Amino acid sequence: MHYVLRRLGFYLIAAWASLTLNFVIPRLAPGDPASAMFARFEGRVQPEAMDALRAAFGFTDAPLYMQYFTYLKHLLTGDLGLSYAYYPSRVSEVIGTGLVWTLGLAGCAVIVSFVVGSLLGVFAAWNRGGWLDSVAAPAFAFLGAFPYFWLAMLALYLFGFGLGWFPLRHAYSHDLEPGLSFTFVADVARHAVLPAVSIVVATLGGWMLSMRNTMVATLGTDTLRLAHAKGLPPRQVMFRYAARNALLPNVTGFGMALGFVLSGSLLTEIVFSYPGTGYLLILAVRNQDYPLMQGLFLVITLAVLAANFAVDLLCLWLDPRTRAHA
């Protein structure tokens, strides 16, 4: 329990530090949002509007530390402010339009990739030199080495545009009413196939190789020799003894990957026009939309920290040594 509390304290400090960075970094960028917004009109709005825009966005010349305290206060009350790019919509509302789709798509893709990749790694190591080990592993590593953007475009072109098997864009057909009907759920799944598979294909190789390598090392240990000698069934040896021990590095990596799901699926969302948070992030940066940027970073930061905390707990359960230490 002491160990858990200590980890929790560490995560709280980390959260505070990253929130502060969130505040500082955008303000170091040149330019200001009202000008950026004014510029988007490229001469279609009269220059007199610029001062008015500044006034509307509530630009203050208040000292930075004052702005910082206002920022913290608003965060604590859950008030993320108004987005500049989508002014006057609330940041929470803007993030809400994308969060569920990103979580659903990238979250599932990462889980599938992790589970399938790790399992393949286990089998590859178990049957070292077999088909899986000598052909599939390098093949997936090769695919993963392609630029993701190119891979996704290729998938979209071949299976969406060329063969017409899958839709070209969006998370569901625009003429369907969202709801828990079979048609709608199937439609959502159909729209998710290409983006999800492209993520899985691009990342599977990494999981597989790291799992295989640790597993090979584990297989050479005395524990495993003893397990074999005891005459345990091979499946039990493979999963309970070898895989469980070899899984630790992959689980740590999984925590990181889960956390980065929210920002990392940015390219996927662009290629497949998937209405997620990744694209919002680009838009926020382009428009110097500080409130939206901070809102997104907040969500991403908290997700990374929460995922890592969960992984810490998982490791505690997987690896008795951490428990003994505590």
Partner 1 sequence: MKSALLLVPVVLLVALLVASCTSSEPRPRQPGTLFVSVEQQSAWVRNFNPLFTGAGSRWPTRAGVYECMEVFIPSTGQWTPWLATAHAWSEDHRTLRFTLREGVRWSDGRPFTAGDVAFTFQLLKKHPALDAGGAWRFLEDVRAEGTHAVAFQFSRVYIPGFSELAHQPIVPRHVWEKVADPVTFTNPEPVGTGPFTQVNVFRNQVYELGRNPNYWQPGKPAVSALRFLAFPTNDQANLALVEGEVDWAGNFVPAVDRTFVSRDPEHHTRWFPLYGSTVFLYPNTTRPPFNDVRVRKALSMALDRERLVDIAMYGYTRPADATALNDSYTGWRDAEAASGAWVRHDEAAANRLMDEAGLTRGPDGLRRMPDGQPLELELEVVGGWSDWVRAGQVLARDLRKLGIQAHLKTYEFGAWYARLQKGEFQLAIAWSLDGPTPYTFYKWLLSPRTVRPVGEVAAANWHRFGDVEADALLTRFETESSPEKQKELMAGVQRRFSELAPAIPLFPNPSWGEASSKRFTGFPSAQNPYARLSPHAEPDSLLVLTALAPREP
Binding of partner 1 by 166 (CB under 8 A):
yes
User: How far, CA to CA in Å, does 275 sit from each of 20, 95, 322?
Assistant: 28, 10, 41
Binding of partner 1 by 297 (CB under 8 A):
no
Binding of partner 1 by 223 (CB under 8 A):
no
The strand pairing partners of 82, in sequence order, are 90
Binding of partner 1 by 112 (CB under 8 A):
yes
Q: Which of residues 143-162 bind partner 1 (CB under 8 A)?
A: 161
Minimum separation from the CB atom of position 159 to partner 1 (A): 10
Taking the C-alpha atoms of residue 312 and residue 308, their distance in angstroms, rounded to an integer, is 6
Binding of partner 1 by 45 (CB under 8 A):
yes
Binding of partner 1 by 97 (CB under 8 A):
yes
Which one, 141 or 251, has the nearer CB to partner 1?
251
Binding of partner 1 by 164 (CB under 8 A):
yes
Binding of partner 1 by 269 (CB under 8 A):
yes
Binding residue for partner 1 (CB under 8 A) from 14, 15, 36, 141?
Answer: 36
Alpha helices in the chain (DSSP H): 2-28, 33-40, 49-56, 64-76, 91-126, 131, 137-145, 148-155, 182-219, 222-229, 234-236, 244-259, 261-264, 266-272, 277-286, 290-318, 320-325
Residue 75 tokens, joined: 């965060």
Minimum separation from the CB atom of position 277 to partner 1 (A): 9
Residue from 247, 258, 249 nearest 308 by CA: 258
Binding of partner 1 by 314 (CB under 8 A):
no
Which one, 30 or 129, has the nearer CB to partner 1?
30
